[in-house]
Every structure is written in structure tokens, then in C-alpha cells.
């Protein structure tokens, strides 16, 4: 982080800025503690949530290497022409496979259920075989994943969505188990895995997979989320208005600031000016598809003309 920058993400002094994002009820650490976390962890990210090109589409924890992110290696599935170029920053392209993958996964699960059921008919079984045959030769495609580390006492961090735990597994070379959660909203394909780092037990590693097809319940409850017609579902695990997981923005504050500066063409270290007419309104036009908007509460965003 550059020195001398005592302005927060939205131009407020840091304390106030972060408290806007993290209401007192959600904050576990003091702002200064969190900023220390930021410094400590900024170099140890698995993927940069603000740079889709760093999203690694098929990286399980076993395959994770800590360190700088390389260009995304998109899975080469049957003639896909993605080659080695980074994932497009285009929103629709980034989300295109989500529903298909979810449907496919559901089909496989359905097949398993039928297979296990003693009542499964021959017709069911043949249908299952057909499905399996269809799947054969197609490499199963995973949805993009995004992982981040958080210093926290609790494993399951509040992120505004409702999750149901559906599994837990022991992790090789780690005394801590990995928990599997699914979004409880009907037909929402998002899953997340939570595990504690064996290298630093105070650190929780959370991996999100997929994109929510609905606003966060927490946001809806507060009436902050725009209607679906005007606001697309969040492209990022966190909804626009819901509080992101604890420390998330704390950990990525420097990149948020960088991106904000890039968007505004502001020189590094320059403070942001707030609109006097509307103190809640940011002085910048956020991109339609930027991930940033999913972290920045919707009420910070300027209205479309």
C-alpha cells in the first residue's frame, strides 16, 4: 500500500469508510487490525476477485500454489477456442456456463439418486446409462472458483446468503476438515467450501463456486437490492448490498483503491472528492460489469441517466 493514503475506499477517512461497509454488528476486528491483515495477506491470494483473468476455472485446493497469480488456464473442452488467453472480462461470457453446468450437475445427481434407489426402474437405469454415455468424452466442466483467505475465529463467515452444509471431509495433510456448503435458495447453483489453513490455523480459506441467481436474502430483507429488472444478479459471490464476508474488503482494499483510481484516472495518492449534493453517491461511474460493483453497495452507485 502506498504511504500517506489515509482516505478510504469511498473517500472517507478509513475508519468511517470501512465501517460503512462493515456495520458494527458484522465487524469482528478493529479497522486497524484488519488493515494489518490486509498487509499480511495481500501477497497470498489465490485469485484476484477484481481481475477475472486471474480466476482459475478448475483449481482445487490440492492444486493451489500460493503466490502470484498466473494467467488463467481455461479448460480446453472439445474445441473451445479459448486457448491460453485470460478469461474475458465480459460479464456475460464469464457467466455463460453457470446454468448449464448446474443443470448438468443436477442431471448427474439425479442419476445417482435413481441408481441408488432400490425402486429405480429399468427405464430409469437405461436413462441413466444414456446420460452417462452422453457425458462420456465430455470433460466435466467446473464453474469458475474464487478463493480467499480470512483471519477469523469462526469457520463459516456471514456473507449475506443462506447456506446449507452438505458434507465434510478430512483434508489430506491437514488436521482440519473441509466443509461443503450449498446456497439454500431454490435452484441456485452456488457452492462454497470452507477449510482452515493447516499452516496458519487462525486463517480460514473460503472457496466460492458459481454465481448466485438471486439477490442476497440479507439485502432483500433490508430492501437495498434493486429489483431484478434493473439490477442483474450479482456476478460475484457477494451481493451488491449484503455485507461481504468479514475482512474481505479489508484484505483487498489496496486493489479496490487501485481499481477505483484506474477508473477515475486519479493519480496514486489522490483523495476522492465526494459529491456535495449527495454524500452517498460516489464520484465515479462504475462499469456495468465490473466486479467492483458487487462489493460496493448499490446505493453508492450513480443512477443511470
Partner DNA sequence: CGAATTTGACCTGCGC
Partner DNA sequence: GCGCAGGTCAAATTCG
Which residue ranges make up the site for DNA (CB under 7 A)?
60-62, 105, 108-109, 111-113, 115-117, 132, 135, 139-140, 162-172, 178-180, 182, 184, 191, 193
In a 3-state reduction of DSSP, which class is residue 20?
A: helix
Q: How many CB atoms within 10 Å of residue 66?
A: 10
Cα-based angle 35, 36, 38 (whole degrees, multiple of 5) = 60
Query: How do beta strands 163-170 and 191-196 pair?
Result: unpaired
Residue 257 beta carbon to DNA: minimum distance, rounded to whole angstroms:
32
In a 3-state reduction of DSSP, which class is residue 194?
A: strand
Considering the complex, state which of residue 98 and residue 293 has its C-beta at the smaller distance from DNA: 98
Residue 3 beta carbon to DNA: minimum distance, rounded to whole angstroms:
40
Considering the complex, state which of residue 203 and residue 301 has its C-beta at the smaller distance from DNA: 203
User: Cell digits for 272?
Assistant: 476522492
- Output b/e per residue, 41-52; b: 16+ Cβ within 10 A: beeebbbbbbbb
Residue 298 beta carbon to DNA: minimum distance, rounded to whole angstroms:
26
Q: Which of 108, 133, 134 is nearest to 189 (CA)?
A: 108
Residue 289 beta carbon to DNA: minimum distance, rounded to whole angstroms:
26
- Between CA 32 and CA 65 the distance in angstroms is 29
Q: Which residues make beta-bridge pairs with 183?
A: 163
- Between CA 190 and CA 181 the distance in angstroms is 9
Considering the complex, state which of residue 191 and residue 250 has its C-beta at the smaller distance from DNA: 191
Considering the complex, state which of residue 16 and residue 113 has its C-beta at the smaller distance from DNA: 113
Considering the complex, state which of residue 192 and residue 255 has its C-beta at the smaller distance from DNA: 192
Considering the complex, state which of residue 12 and residue 61 has its C-beta at the smaller distance from DNA: 61
Residue 291 beta carbon to DNA: minimum distance, rounded to whole angstroms:
23
Considering the complex, state which of residue 181 and residue 236 has its C-beta at the smaller distance from DNA: 181
C-alpha distances in angstroms, 218 versus 18, 28, 159, 215, 224?
A: 19, 18, 9, 8, 9
Residue 103 beta carbon to DNA: minimum distance, rounded to whole angstroms:
12
Residue 6 beta carbon to DNA: minimum distance, rounded to whole angstroms:
40
User: Cell digits for 280?
Assistant: 452517498
Task: Give the DSSP letter string of 99-159.
Answer: HHHHHHHHHHHHHHHHHH-TT--HHHHHHHHHHHHHHTTSPPPPPPEEEEEEE-SSSS---
Considering the complex, state which of residue 167 and residue 270 has its C-beta at the smaller distance from DNA: 167
Residue 126 beta carbon to DNA: minimum distance, rounded to whole angstroms:
15
Amino acid at each position: 500500500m502506498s504511504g500517506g493514503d489515509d482516505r478510504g475506499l469511498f473517500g472517507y477517512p478509513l475508519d468511517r469508510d470501512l465501517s460503512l461497509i462493515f456495520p458494527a454488528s458484522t465487524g469482528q476486528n478493529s479497522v486497524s487490525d484488519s488493515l494489518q491483515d490486509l498487509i499480511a495477506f495481500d501477497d497470498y491470494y489465490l485469485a484476484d476477485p477484481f481481475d477475472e483473468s486471474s480466476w482459475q476455472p478448475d483449481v482445487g485446493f490440492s492444486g493451489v500454489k500460493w503466490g502470484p497469480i498466473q494467467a488463467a488456464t481455461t479448460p480446453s473442452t472439445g474445441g473451445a477456442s479459448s486457448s491460453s488467453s485470460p478469461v474475458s472480462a465480459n460479464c456475460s461470457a464469464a457467466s455463460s456456463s453457470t446454468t448449464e453446468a448446474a443443470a448438468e450437475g443436477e442431471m448427474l445427481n439425479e442419476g445417482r439418486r435413481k441408481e441408488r434407489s432400490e425402486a429405480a426402474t429399468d427405464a430409469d437405469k437405461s436413462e441413466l446409462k444414456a446420460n452417462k454415455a452422453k457425458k462420456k468424452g465430455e470433460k466435466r466442466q467446473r464453474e469458475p472458483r474464487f478463493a480467499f483467505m480470512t483471519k477469523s475465529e469462526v469457520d463459516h463467515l456471514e456473507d449475506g446468503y443462506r447456506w446449507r452444509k452438505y458434507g465434510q471431509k478430512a483434508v489430506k495433510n491437514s488436521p482440519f476438515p473441509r466443509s461443503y456448503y450449498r446456497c439454500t435458495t431454490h435452484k441456485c447453483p452456488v457452492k462454497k467450501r470452507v477449510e482452515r489453513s493447516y499452516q496458519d490455523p487462525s486463517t480460514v480459506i473460503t472457496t466460492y463456486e458459481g454465481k448466485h441467481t438471486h439477490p442476497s436474502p440479507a439485502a432483500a430483507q433490508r430492501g437495498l437490492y434493486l429489483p431484478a429488472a434493473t439490477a442483474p444478479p450479482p456476478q460475484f459471490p457477494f451481493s451488491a448490498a449484503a455485507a461481504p464476508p468479514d475482512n474481505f474488503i479489508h484484505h483487498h482494499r489496496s486493489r479496490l483503491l487501485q481499481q477505483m483510481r484506474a477508473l477515475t484516472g486519479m493519480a496514486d495518492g489522490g483523495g476522492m472528492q465526494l459529491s456535495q449534493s449527495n454524500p452517498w453517491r460516489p464520484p465515479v461511474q462504475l462499469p456495468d460489469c465490473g466486479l467492483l460493483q458487487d462489493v460496493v453497495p448499490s446505493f453508492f452507485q450513480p443512477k443511470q441517466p
